[in-house]
Amino acid sequence: MTPRASRLRPKASYEIVVIGASKGGLQALKTVLSSLSSDFTLPVIVIQHRDKKADESLNELLQKVSALPVEDVEDKYPIRPGRVYVAPADYHLLVEKGSFALSLDEPVQHARPSIDVGFESAAEVYGRGVIGVILTGANEDGAKGLAAIKRQGGLAIVQEPKTAESPRMPEAAIAATEVDKILPLEEIGPFLVGVVKRGGG
Amino acid sequence: MTDKDLEEIEIQLFLEGIYRHYGWDFRDYALSSLKRRIRACLQEEKVKTISGLQDKILHDPSGMERFLNAVSISVTGMFRDPGFFLALRKKVIPLFKELPFARIWDTGCGTGEEVYSLAITLHEENLNDRVRIYATDMNEEVLKKDQEGIFPLERMKEYTENYLRAGGTKDFSAYYSAKYENAIFRPAVKKEVVWSQHNLVTDASFNEFQLILCRNVMIYFNKALQERVHKLLYESLAPGGFLGLGSKESLKFTPCESCYEVVDGREEIYRRIP
């Protein structure tokens, strides 16, 4: 499948990046985050499936490769630009205007945090200001969420399944919506940087 | 006007209607999670719009009951965050041994897993004759179920692991009997528990407590309501009393931050400065 010509917009119109990953996600996230330089201006929210007993060690691993500060999310914390936020284990992560909200509602697609839940709430609040990214994973979480982002006029990016440790999640996302870009893993970070830096559309 | 704007209006009217007709006040709930729950209700009730849902619920009290269940029940487990219960055992409960009697308030106790975890911990610290746990929730149906002390047997393996990590000293299976797919907790476990209906949003305090647990309840509230509830909790604590929040909640950015000292920052346990 070839990527459709995307309708990229000036940087001012994008407000937030949400990234969903599951199996194989740690390596993929490291690759993406390591190419975001410290002057990246948007908040980056990471929803990675993991064991419900998981601690904050994922944040530490990501901080090692990220020029941006990687922060824990607590309920109602403000969302600030130029930071990476990681969804805590065993809560759904939702966003409100300018802050996070957590919930203990039923797992969705057997997952908590669920990528669908996080993406749908980002689409709802930030509308066309959302850039959604689906990376590697062995389930179909995130497909509905990415479709919601597209419906609200946001930008949908999916890791090229061939470059994914587990292709199922990217494949499901591609099947669920007309994505704007399908990119090899290494190109996702630089692409985000380009979109955000682009001044004139 | 977009569909989204219209939906916002419908939600406000719907919540206002429920408040004025039934007295349940969800107007200051966090919108993101409340919307998800309302949308799930639309499907359940087979209506297309929130206005349609409003019609159904305002004219049918049983619809209100279903809505209440949909918005008030969250999904948790026994000894969720074992580190929290371990910290209670090590840093808070020993101080209760010096008191003639301690009152504990477990707010928004929901499906009861936390109450039983707490009661078991107090038992093992030999405090059972000198404490009372007031377990409250706004949903009376849930409270009735809590009192039965029946939980799915299939989760006992996970709960036993949590219990051990929480500093449990006994054989966890001694606390319940297994019957079909249920684990039925022994009546002795809940001897000190008093269940009662209480709504943090609309009800005042009803006693003075040495420990209040309000864990993962306020995540469903917006900032303004959180501040009101924090004030209620503060006023309900005895001087030097303890407050336990959920592991991803904190007093940071709340007006009550300076009213407490931190007992355990990681586990979100605080102590009211007298």
Residue B221 is given by DSSP the state B
Mind listing the pLDDT tens digit for each residue in A16-63? 999 999 999 999 999 999 999 999 999 999 999 998 888 778 999 999
pLDDT-based confidence at A124, cuts 50/70/90? Answer: very high
Whether A5 shows a pLDDT value over 60: the answer reads no
A92 contact residues in B (CB cutoff 8 A)? 33
CA distance A45 to A113: 12
Structural element, H or E, at residue A101: strand A99-103
The per-residue pLDDT for B2 is 78
CA distance B215 to B106: 9
Residue A169 is given by DSSP the state H
B8 CB within 8 Å of a chain A CB: no
Two structure tokens written together for A78: 């403000």
Mind listing the pLDDT tens digit for each residue in B90-103? 999 999 999 999 99
Identify any residues that bridge with A181 across adjacent strands, giving them in sequence order.
A157
Residue A47 is given by DSSP the state E
Catalytic residue list contains A105: no
Selected residues 55-114 of chain A with any CB under 8 Å from a CB in chain B = 72-78, 88, 90-92, 94-96, 99, 101-107
CA A185 to chain B, closest CA, distance in angstroms equals: 31
User: Which of A173, A179, A178 has the alpha carbon at shortest distance from A191?
Assistant: A179
> Strands, DSSP E only, in chain B?
102-106, 131-137, 150-152, 176-179, 182-185, 193-197, 209-214, 237-245, 260-264, 269-272
Contact B128, B233 (CB under 8 A): no
3-state secondary structure (DSSP) of residue B123: helix
Two structure tokens written together for B224: 């303004």
pLDDT-based confidence at B217, cuts 50/70/90? Answer: very high
B222 contact residues in A (CB cutoff 8 A)? 96
| ipTM, two decimals | 0.93
CA distance B146 to B180: 19
A90 contact residues in B (CB cutoff 8 A)? 80
CA distance A149 to B217: 29
The per-residue pLDDT for A6 is 55
Whether A121 shows a pLDDT value over 90: the answer reads yes
Contact A114, A141 (CB under 8 A): yes
The per-residue pLDDT for A35 is 96
3-state secondary structure (DSSP) of residue A18: strand
Two structure tokens written together for B65: 């009951």
Whether A200 shows a pLDDT value over 80: the answer reads no
B180 CB within 8 Å of a chain A CB: no
CA distance B46 to B63: 12
pLDDT-based confidence at A8, cuts 50/70/90? Answer: low
Whether A2 shows a pLDDT value over 50: the answer reads no
Two structure tokens written together for B112: 């009861």
